Amino acid sequence: MDKEERKIINQGQEDEMEIYGYNLSRWKLAIVSLGVICTGGFLLLLLYWMPEWRVKATCVRAAMKDCDVVLLRTTDEFKMWFCAKIRVLSLETHPVSSPKSMSNKLSNGHAVCLTENPTGENRHGISKYSQAESQQIRYFTHHSVKYFWNDTIHNFDFLKGLDEGVSCTSIYEKHSAGLTKGMHAYRKLLYGVNEIAVKVPSVFKLLIKEVLNPFYIFQLFSVILWSTDEYYYYALAIVVMSIVSIVSSLYSIRKQYVMLHDMVATHSTVRVSVCRVNEEIEEIFSTDLVPGDVMVIPLNGTIMPCDAVLINGTCIVNESMLTGESVPVTKTNLPNPSVDVKGIGDELYNPETHKRHTLFCGTTVIQTRFYTGELVKAIVVRTGFSTSKGQLVRSILYPKPTDFKLYRDAYLFLLCLVAVAGIGFIYTIINSILNEVQVGVIIIESLDIITITVPPALPAAMTAGIVYAQRRLKKIGIFCISPQRINICGQLNLVCFDKTGTLTEDGLDLWGIQRVENARFLSPEENVCNEMLVKSQFVACLATCHSLTKIEGVLSGDPLDLKMFEAIGWILEEATEEETALHNRIMPTVVRPPKQLLPESTPAGNQEMELFELPAIYEIGIVRQFPFSSALQRMSVVARVLGDKKMDAYMKGAPEVIASLCKPETVPVDFQNVLEDFTKQGFRVIALAHRKLESKLTWHKVQNISRDAIENNMDFMGLIIMQNKLKQETPAVLEDLHKANIRTVMVTGDNMLTAVSVARDCGMILPQDKVIIAEALPPKDGKVAKINWHYADSLTQCSHPSAIASEATPVKLVHDSLEDLQMTRYHFAMNGKSFSVILEHFQDLVPKLMLHGTVFARMAPDQKTQLIEALQNVDYFVGMCGDGANDCGALKRAHGGISLSELEASVASPFTSKTPSISCVPNLIREGRAALITSFCVFKFMALYSIIQYFSVTLLYSILSNLGDFQFLFIDLAIILVVVFTMSLNPAWKELVAQRPPSGLISGALLFSVLSQIIICIGFQSLGFFWVKQQPWYEVWHPKSDACNATGSLLWNSSHLDNETELDEHNIQNYENTTVFFISSFQYLIVAIAFSKGKPFRQPCYKNYFFVFSVIFLYVFILFIMLYPVASVDQVLQIVCVPYQWRVTMLIIVLVNAFVSITVEESVDRWRKCCLPWALSCGKKIPKAKYMYLAQELLVDPEWPPKPQTTTEAKGLVKENGSCQIITIT
């Protein structure tokens, strides 16, 4: 049954989960209720913390189809459990819910989504996930997504909108008419309210959730225990600390909720107009929108309340919320395949592929362009949490847990402390029974030892270093929304950088143009703005082929387009709403040159200009725009010169793409060489093309023509050369990272050779290093997928392998250190298409390519995320630095994502830098390393503190004594808290070093350090405890004891006679207690100094003035009360008077202890630096990190790196040990 009923939901996606069905069992519930009563509610808490136990303890397994509860487990490395209750949605009351036809057809094979036929949609769709007889749909909600039971696949699945399995044709034919009110009501029932509901929990709810944290429950247990033992003061101190901690935690959590709520509230409820089937316009609230509704976009713009595909008109949209780009984007209507001159087949609509036609939720529509009588319409495709903004908000509301070795080891360490506490617990019980102690006292004292061993202040102490690091980062302009990631940043050993706007300046400068005449390149020209070129097709293309628009009189749009348009100095005029309303069709945007550029009269002999009868007026109207598409790497426009009979088509884009769409005879023979020359120098090159359209193409036909019909058979016109300058600080920052053994990788959407050139310029690839370009081709015409390897310096054209000069294979350098293995002298470069093919067909090559992959060009946003994952799979700690635009997924996925943009898109990034400069990367790593080392220091110190106190108490329990209330208070508040919160203040070391801090607590050197200090402290405490008993003046202390023989002692003793009964009861005042108290107090300070590490990750200890002052003050104070007792202090701390000679002996014990502790700690440090690398090299230990192990393997692999002019082919269907073979091309 287990096998049969274990199903997977969201298969292949990031949130893939196993799902199991359960039904409530009454007898199990009765047993659990009894258990809860017997354990005083503790079992209830345990079941609250463990959803898996809760379900298994109260339910029995059941078939998924009939279950009441589902148990979910994520399939990632965290294997987290969740449970959800099954609810029932009843459709019996609904007039359209009785199915006549029970078709089980699914639109896309496995998903519950809207069927193609809108009239029968309620009948067809319902049968997939409801029981026909009862008309009830079973569903559950998990992380704000509803999962409905789907009868076809016998599993739960979430309801999809029109974003999957719906063709572009059906969007026009079946969905463009709108919904009837009945269909709308039916869909509303299924899809629910269209809102991204971020409920800000009440303070009470948050308080309950926070207080039920295991840590606070343990503190509560400790406080109750101490109160019963009359340790009121320390209990009160812990309560105060806990309240401060809870209040600050509640404040920050609530603040984040409010911030998120405000971010989504802007469009939560607005009034929108929708078209119904009978063409009537109905005004409804945006919360009532459902997929399939036809929404009317208002003239004055709006904030989109859903994801919708544009079917009529044009919109100018600000998408900064999603992409981080504040540049307005022009959105055009989705091409209608049924009326296209050249059809594009029945292509499926996809919001990502067709993003230039999709209006996304939360983005702002600034302006609309429309036809008179025809409204600007968009069909709703996704609502609520399914929208792009909804998914972004979900990723913030339900983040993936951060998996870090330090935290895993911390739990292991706590378990060890619990085991130690268990030993103490048993020892105390046995010892008390042997000494015939009362049962009540035995229970309290044995439980007390647990609270001593596992310090309640540990979590507060651990977070102190992170809080201080966060504050220091804020001072240098780096803001953090995920403080736990600061520690992880200390481990980063690879950083991915976006290129444009990150490594290089944001904008591009026009360097010059290189026109083509008679299929030959003319010499490059710098100035485009001159009389000679004003009426040329080249300048006409620059003037029209762009997506610029005027917003409140200011020209705005893509920075690249702006630069080009400014270079020619033309004027852009757009029709006002009033003008558009007067005409039957949309008024075109008009561009014209300034009057000073136009010649006085038209030269008669010039054929190109004889059409312009009016010399003073030369205007070009932009009739149709095909926006830039990153998938197609081009944009085009249809324009008409005023007075001209025929229209013109202009196109610009990636040179390789433009050249392939031009007549071969118009492309210069040396095109590849010229292009390569420019790209090698790091220039961004854009090609232009043009053609006259046939006179039969009327304005109306152009509005419905497909872009494929326009974008072919063009005349190649030349190149625009743009310069993208490196940011001033880039080379220095990358050099710092390389010195610190941190690999750098470039991930960009730009051209491959331009990216390689920039990588060389900024020092990412050194001059002597070789660059191997991996060009992967997918399987085609029965041939398997293959990778062609080219060497960048000799790459001319992929289609002419013979032109590649034979190169020597790059040298493999053997390094002393494993860390340097990745610094060998060759780099791989590839584009997004090749990367996808390699991921799909060459799985075994991926790790090898990750080891030396440095340049990844033409990468789409999801490919950037896949690259981060691939690098993490070979155990790299990956940082990602981008400008927030389309890097969102990668920034979230990386161990440390730093956004250089403060726009809303970067809200998902753990770190945001105020200054748009990559100098924040080394700063973040330095602070991360300092915070990580601080965490280690604090953890070691807290472990020693609990063991020292545990041993003190265990020694005193042996004589049925204990530490006094105020002694505990002094140690825990005055020493421990002061030391912990000041030792965390060490700032980061001023430069990055090649050495990296350890990632976990369970390492040889660290464990040796802790164990050696434990042995030393136990040894010296035992020495004091047993030696005091050997003193000639020693006797079992009683109120009249006078070991000091001082006259003042009588006064001292007389003041205590009143408390005699109380003192006898707890037996706190005795010589052993006083000795152990003084020695242990010094030991806390000794280990604090021993563990306070400075260089190479933190500033030296003596520069932490608060810590130095605190330690000196505590040393002086303890020394003073030890050598020169003050009666009032002794009375409070319940210290007894001991002879002066014994005080000096204790001082000697403490001094020797300090010398031994610090010497051993220094020796451990030196041993780790000197002996560990030697031991590793002798033992030839296999490195833990996969990338290091792989680097060792590749050093002896004769086939790697691939030689030039070779091809790697994927094997057919059979996958054996090596699924690739290398074939040399001759």
CA distances from 1140 to 1070, 1114, 1163 (A): 16, 21, 35
DSSP sequence for 221-277: HHHHHHHHTT-HHHHHHHHHHHHHHHHHHHHHHHHHHHHHHHHHHTTSS-EEEEEBT
What the block records as the tokens of 57 is: 């303890």
Q: Is 498 a catalytic residue?
A: yes
- 3-state SS class at 550: strand
Contact 800, 808 (CB under 8 A): no
Contact 184, 290 (CB under 8 A): yes
What the block records as the tokens of 1150 is: 């403490």
What the block records as the tokens of 101 is: 């036809």
Pick the catalytic residue from 498, 558, 561, 1130. Answer: 498
The amino acid at residue 183 is M
The neighbouring-strand residues paired with 1013 are none
> Distance between CA atoms of 486 and 491, rounded to whole angstroms?
10
Q: Which helix (H) or strand (E) holds 1217?
A: none
Place of tokens 């680097």: 1191
> Distance between CA atoms of 53 and 157, rounded to whole angstroms?
25
Place of tokens 């038209």: 602
Nearest to 633 by CA among 491, 749, 472, 537: 749
> Distance between CA atoms of 535 and 616, rounded to whole angstroms?
12
- 942 phi and psi angles, rounded to 5 deg: -65, -35
Nearest to 473 by CA among 904, 162, 844, 922: 922
Nearest to 491 by CA among 877, 880, 879: 877
- What per-residue string of b and e applies to 946-976 under the rule 16 or more CB within 10 Å gives b? bbbbbbbbbbbbebebbbbbbbbbbbbbbbb
> Distance between CA atoms of 988 and 1049, rounded to whole angstroms?
51
DSSP sequence for 138-153: EEEEETTEEEEEETTT
Rg (CA), the chain: 37
- 3-state SS class at 745: strand
Residues 6+ apart with CB under 8 A from 1095: 989
> Distance between CA atoms of 867 and 846, rounded to whole angstroms?
10
> Distance between CA atoms of 316 and 331, rounded to whole angstroms?
6
> Distance between CA atoms of 688 and 751, rounded to whole angstroms?
16
> Distance between CA atoms of 856 and 867, rounded to whole angstroms?
9
Nearest to 544 by CA among 657, 631, 635, 610: 635
The neighbouring-strand residues paired with 59 are 24
> Distance between CA atoms of 296 and 377, rounded to whole angstroms?
5
How many residues belong to the chain? 1226
Sheet holding 648-653, edge to edge: 520-521, 509-517, 715-723, 683-692, 648-653, 634-641, 620-629, 589-592, 571-573
- What per-residue string of b and e applies to 349-374 under the rule 16 or more CB within 10 Å gives b? bebeebbbbbbbbbbbbbbbbbeeee
What number of other Cβ atoms are within 10 A of residue 408's Cβ?
13
Q: Which helix (H) or strand (E) holds 166?
A: none
Catalytic center residues: 498
